[in-house]
Amino acid sequence: DTEVTQTPKHLVMGMTNKKSLKCEQHMGHRAMYWYKQKAKKPPELMFVYSYEKLSINESVPSRFSPECPNSSLLNLHLHALQPEDSALYLCASSRTDRRDEQYFGPGTRLTVT
């Protein structure tokens, strides 16, 4: 099973709302990632967690707050977002964060109004 699941599939939120995106994998992978993808562009890395610790933060604004409660779960907490944050948010995982194949989830389509 090489499945990464993400919930919700779609999310519409106002600029004052607080919401969370959830990602889950049961492949025993110890690296998990958040990417942001705008239309007709490749994914852009936001965060990398390795063994439940944040190892890379690509200078993402603090209105995005990642959390890795355990080795199977990855959350992205959203607060006070801007309309330009509307995008497809993708989660991925890999066995480790070193030269291993990354598996992506289906994404959450986020619209900020």
Q: Which residues bind other proteins (CB under 8 A)?
A: 2, 4, 6, 31, 33, 41-43, 45, 48, 50, 55-56, 88, 90, 92, 94, 97-99, 101-107, 109
Closest to other proteins by CB, 92 or 112? 92
Question: CA–CA separation, 54 vs 31, rounded Å?
Answer: 10
Closest to other proteins by CB, 24 or 97? 97
Question: CA–CA separation, 78 vs 14, rounded Å?
Answer: 11
Residue 44 Cβ, how far from other proteins at the closest point, in Å? Answer: 8
Question: CA–CA separation, 63 vs 48, rounded Å?
Answer: 17
Residue 36 Cβ, how far from other proteins at the closest point, in Å? Answer: 12
Closest to other proteins by CB, 67 or 104? 104
Task: Report the sign of the C-alpha dihedral through residues 30, 32, 72, 28, in that order.
Answer: negative
